Amino acid sequence: MTNDHELGPIDVQRRTGREGFHATGRRLPFTLLDFWQWSTSDLVSNATRGVLAEYLVAQALGIADGQVRDEWAAWDLTDADGTRIEVKSAAYVQSWHQKAPSRISSSVRKTRAWSRETNELSPDVGRQADVYVFALLAPLQPANARPHGRLAVGVLRHPDLHPRRAKAEPVLDHTFVATEARRPVGRVRGSQERCAGGRD
């Protein structure tokens, strides 16, 4: 609850991309879609890849249409039945130069939840999600991680995440594979690539 001197959270509205920018009453020759294309076309980027992984899971659950991602929620998604979902994303290849594929790691450690409604941390320490989904950008070579057309997705129940033992390169350009865990399963060892797109 806020008093008269406090500023509450902003109610975020879903955009279409057709919104234009204006200056001194004159419409400028670019749109919000142009900004999105400029800012988030690098789907391999850690931050963008994580958000894309969340979106794919939301689409699979039928909770993406008409909704807006909550940037500051203590967990990533809430299913129709109230299940709290955290999506972890990682990749073997990155946008920058690498000497070798990244190792894959993730953490489901207990944390204190932060509330956008109050701007305060919960006094309780625990895992914020009921379900953890791990999303892996599967290609082992940079050329295969750059989408040129179709963006392929798939589900792999029990992957071998070590890059030397990973399966052959996928046929399609840009492949995400996702694994499910109904409960936290601890930490996958490795430190080179920490999962993006989640708030532990």
Which amino acid would we find at residue 43?
A: L
83: domain range?
43-194
Task: Check: pTM over 0.85? Answer yes or no.
Answer: no
Rg of the chain, C-alpha, whole Å? 19
Residue 51 lies in a domain: yes
Query: Is 155 a domain residue?
Result: yes
Model confidence pLDDT, tens digit, residues 95-116: 888 898 888 877 777 888 877 7
Whether residue 49 is contained in a domain is answered as yes
Quote the pLDDT of residue 148: 63
Q: How many domains does the chain have?
A: 1
Share of the chain above pLDDT 90, in %: 28
Give per-residue pLDDT as tens, 168-190: 333 333 344 444 444 433 333 33
Q: Please state the three-class secondary structure of 128-144 as a single string.
A: CCCEEEEEEECCCCHHH
Domain annotation covers residue 10: no
The reply to whether 98 falls in a domain is: yes
Dihedral sign (CA 32, 38, 40, 41): positive
pLDDT tens, N- to C-terminus, the chain (200 residues) = 556 788 888 888 999 999 999 999 999 999 999 999 999 999 888 889 999 999 999 998 999 999 999 988 889 999 999 999 999 888 888 888 889 888 887 777 788 887 777 778 888 888 888 888 888 887 778 877 766 666 767 655 444 444 444 443 333 333 444 444 444 333 333 333 433 444 43
Rounded to whole angstroms, the Cα distance separating 41 from 160 reads 29
Cβ 85 vs Cβ 79: under 8 Å: yes
Asked if residue 95 belongs to a domain, the reply is yes
pLDDT value, residue 154: 67
**Are 198 and 57 in contact, with CB atoms under 8 Å apart?**
no
Structural domain contains residue 165? yes
User: C-alpha dihedral over 171, 174, 178, 184, to 10 degrees?
Assistant: 130
- Whether residue 16 lies inside any domain: the answer is no
pLDDT for res 2: 52
Could you count the other beta carbons within 10 Å of the beta carbon of residue 78?
A: 18
